[in-house]
Each structure stands twice: as C-alpha cells, then as structure tokens.
Amino acid sequence: MAGVYRDTGAPQPALALLEQALPIWRQVGDRAGEATTLGNIALVYHDAGDLKRALAFYEQALSIHRQVGGRGGEAATLCNMGRWHWDFGEKDRARLLWQEALRIFEEIESPDAEIVRGFLAENT
C-alpha cells in the first residue's frame, strides 16, 4: 500500500505505513525486508525534496543490503542514490553510482540493467 500511496502523490500515508512496517521487519529479524523498507522511506523523503533525510535512509538501506548479500537491492539502492546525487547537482557521482549498479545488475542477469543503461545514455 505504501508504494501505491507514494506513486499517487500521497507521501504522508506512504511514510506512515513504512514507519509501521520497519519495526516489524526488525522484530522478525528480516534484514532484507528492513533494507527494502529503509530504501522506500528514502524514496518518499527524496520525492518530498528532503534530500538530507533521504540520503541517510539510502545509506542505511545500502549497508544492510550489502551485509545480507542482497545484490538486487544493493543495485536498486545505488540507482536511487545516483538519482539523489543527480538531483543534488553531483552529476559525476551519480554516473559512478549508476555504473556500479549496472555492473551488479549485469552480474545477476537482471533486466533492470537496461533501465540503468538508459540512465547512463541519457545523462552522459
């Protein structure tokens, strides 16, 4: 539901649901679920223009994805962090993050590699 709220421009209900989900993931010990939720919280803050808060959540999500070996989640978070850096005016850093995400998506043979190739082609 949080994704639907976010996609339809209702960040507050999205954030409320994500903040309810986070302690549940932690309680049951699902680190991948925790990382995904942190990444989704970051997206809500990013969309709202709260870039400092968004980056903090992206960094938490990335760290956990790396700890648990969630390569797809790691790459997706790197993509989102790339967009963050792009929006913040750090174009070179964004490209580096997208290149790292592309490498991971290619390693795991994810179709998301095509999306990242598109980001890179449009923003070089």
**Domain range holding 118?**
70-124
Spell 82-115 as b/e; 16+ CB within 10 A means b: bbbbbeeeeeeebbebbebbbebbeeeebebbeb
Question: Average pLDDT over the chain, rounded to whole?
Answer: 95
Owner of token pair 């997206």: 43
pLDDT in tens, 23-60: 999 999 999 999 999 999 999 999 998 989 999 999 99
Domain assignment of residue 63, yes or no: no
Looking at the structure, tell me whether residues 45 and 95 fall in a common domain. Answer: no
Picking from 67, 81, 80, the residue whose alpha carbon sits closest to that of residue 32 is 67
Looking at the structure, tell me whether residues 115 and 80 fall in a common domain. Answer: yes
Q: Global pTM?
A: 0.91
Predicted confidence at residue 39, as pLDDT, reads: 97
